[in-house]
């Protein structure tokens, strides 16, 4: 989670019952390495206390009483200026109205007015208030000025009504904060296609040939691309993982489906990161009905599955419009998961698949490769350069890889 490491985040909490969710958000931000300062409005203090936030952030939480203290004249300017991002979650209709109109009658709104950093707002309000013309007009003003609005979600509201007004979940708000920070990063405005998971090749309606890929490295790569500001398309087989906030998921199962999705998405992509464990072989015939034990042990004939990377990396950079779907992204990256002769196999694949970069992945130890939280990889470049990375978390490996992709795209 290095995008948040040492970032200075200012969290504004306003008077909504959803204020309890803000404590979770403060905790998540802190765990991700951010320095979180909190400002509570007077109404927020009715729901939660400064101590709640100080306990999870280890830093001071400010209230309106600080507005009238000795340091007041510098506090609002200082807080607003030293911060990388201001997030107001939950944000009431009242605070949204104040922000839209430039009112500055409490520590939070005075700080927001002085701040020049990105602003993320997670509205929370009761039935009808969000749809009210005044709130919608304020929302439009804030969006027009560049604020990121997260939610609100539909569901049960505190009043018992069903409707739009619930504050989005902290994980969603956190994801949108990461995206807002990423807008200044190297992959902003770039489209990155990431594949993840192990393909499933059907034998009959109930059985598949698959592999041990967990999708963890691919999902971490998608998150790293989002953190660097990219528009991310994640083409994935079913996994137990949560899709990173902001990634567009294209669900697939077979190598054939993955190939079609990759070719379609590559038409306007800047880079393809092919982390999926794609089948090399698949059953030649798929039984229409479940194969029965009473019919004896089946003989399964295999055929080659499509080699997606070979197809994409073989395309020329710019083809005619008619061949628009056969475009090679500027950077094409593959993975080589090997249990022996790692670098030889990887560099052979780098050449045969015409790649810009291959990530050689030693799967012979339990702390790397399939299912592990960590990975040990070597990056091999088309120009012969080689970079070995130590054992790292898959998220750290992902960050190094995506920063390398960004450099190759420069």
List interacting residues with ligand C5P (CB under 6 A): 255, 274, 276, 278, 280, 305-309, 334-336, 349
Q: How far is the CB of 79 from ligand C5P (least distance, A)?
A: 46
Which of the 8 DSSP states describes residue 277?
A: B
Residue number with CB closer to ligand C5P (167 or 312) = 312
Residue number with CB closer to ligand C5P (49 or 345) = 345
Q: Would you call 212 exposed, middle or buried from its count of C-beta atoms within 10 A (0-12, 13-18, 19+)?
A: exposed
Residue 288 has which token pair? 């229409």
How far the first Cα of the chain sits from its last, in Å, is 24
Kindly list the distances between the CA atom of residue 251 and the CA atoms of 16, 220, 233, in Å, as whole numbers in the listed order: 37, 17, 10
Which of the 8 DSSP states describes residue 365?
A: S
Q: Would you call 121 exposed, middle or buried from its count of C-beta atoms within 10 A (0-12, 13-18, 19+)?
A: buried
Which of the 8 DSSP states describes residue 94?
A: H
Residue number with CB closer to ligand C5P (123 or 334) = 334
Residue labelled with tokens 């070979």: 310
Q: How far is the CB of 306 from ligand C5P (least distance, A)?
A: 6
Q: How far is the CB of 323 from ligand C5P (least distance, A)?
A: 20
Is residue 211 among the annotated active site residues?
yes
Residue number with CB closer to ligand C5P (85 or 258) = 258
Residue number with CB closer to ligand C5P (135 or 237) = 237
Identified catalytic residue from 211, 260, 345, 354: 211
Which is it for the CA torsion 196, 201, 207, 211, positive or negative? negative
Q: How far is the CB of 292 from ligand C5P (least distance, A)?
A: 30
Phi and psi at residue 38, to the nearest 5°: -120, 140
Q: How far is the CB of 299 from ligand C5P (least distance, A)?
A: 23
| Residues forming beta bridges with residue 164, ordered by sequence position | 154
Active site residues: 211
């Amino acid at each position: 989670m290095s995008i948040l490491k040492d970032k200075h985040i200012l969290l504004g909490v306003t008077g909504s019952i959803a204020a309890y969710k803000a404590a979770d958000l403060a905790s998540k931000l802190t765990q991700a390495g951010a320095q979180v300062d909190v400002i509570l409005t007077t109404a927020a203090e009715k729901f939660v206390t400064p101590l709640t936030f100080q306990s999870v952030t280890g830093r001071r939480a400010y209230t309106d009483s600080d507005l009238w203290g000795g340091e007041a004249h510098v506090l609002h300017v200082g807080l607003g200026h030293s911060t990388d991002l201001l997030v107001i979650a939950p944000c009431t209709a009242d605070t949204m109205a104040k922000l839209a109109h430039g009112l500055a009658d409490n520590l939070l709104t005075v700080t927001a007015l002085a701040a020049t950093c990105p602003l993320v707002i997670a509205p929370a309000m009761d039935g009808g208030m969000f749809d009210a013309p005044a709130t919608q007009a304020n929302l439009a003003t804030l969006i027009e000025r560049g604020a990121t609005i997260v939610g609100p979600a539909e569901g049960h509201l505190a009043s018992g009504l069903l409707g739009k007004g619930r504050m989005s979940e902290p994980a969603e708000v956190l994801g949108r904060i990461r995206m807002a920070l990423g807008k200044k990063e190297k992959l902003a405005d770039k489209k990155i296609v990431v594949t993840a998971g192990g393909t499933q090749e059907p034998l009959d309606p109930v059985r598949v040939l698959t592999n041990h890929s967990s999708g963890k490295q691919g999902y971490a790569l998608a998150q790293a691309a989002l953190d660097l500001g990219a528009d991310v398309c994640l083409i994935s087989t079913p996994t137990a993982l949560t899709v990173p906030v902001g990634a567009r998921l294209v669900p697939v199962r077979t190598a054939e489906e993955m190939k079609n999705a990759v070719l379609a998405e590559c038409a306007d992509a800047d880079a393809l990161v092919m982390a999926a464990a794609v089948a090399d072989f698949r059953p030649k015939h798929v039984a229409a009905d479940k194969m029965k034990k009473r019919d004896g042990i089946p003989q399964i004939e295999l055929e080659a599955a499509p080699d997606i990377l070979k197809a994409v990396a073989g395309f020329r950079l710019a083809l005619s419009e008619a061949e628009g779907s056969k475009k090679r992204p500027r950077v094409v990256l593959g993975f080589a998961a090997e249990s022996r002769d790692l670098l030889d196999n990887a560099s052979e694949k780098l050449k045969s698949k015409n790649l810009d970069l291959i990530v050689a992945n030693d799967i012979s130890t339990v702390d790397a490769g399939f299912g592990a939280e960590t990975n040990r990889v070597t990056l091999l470049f088309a120009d012969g350069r080689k970079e070995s990375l130590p054992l790292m978390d898959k998220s750290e490996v992902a960050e190094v890889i995506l920063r390398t992709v960004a450099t190759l795209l420069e």
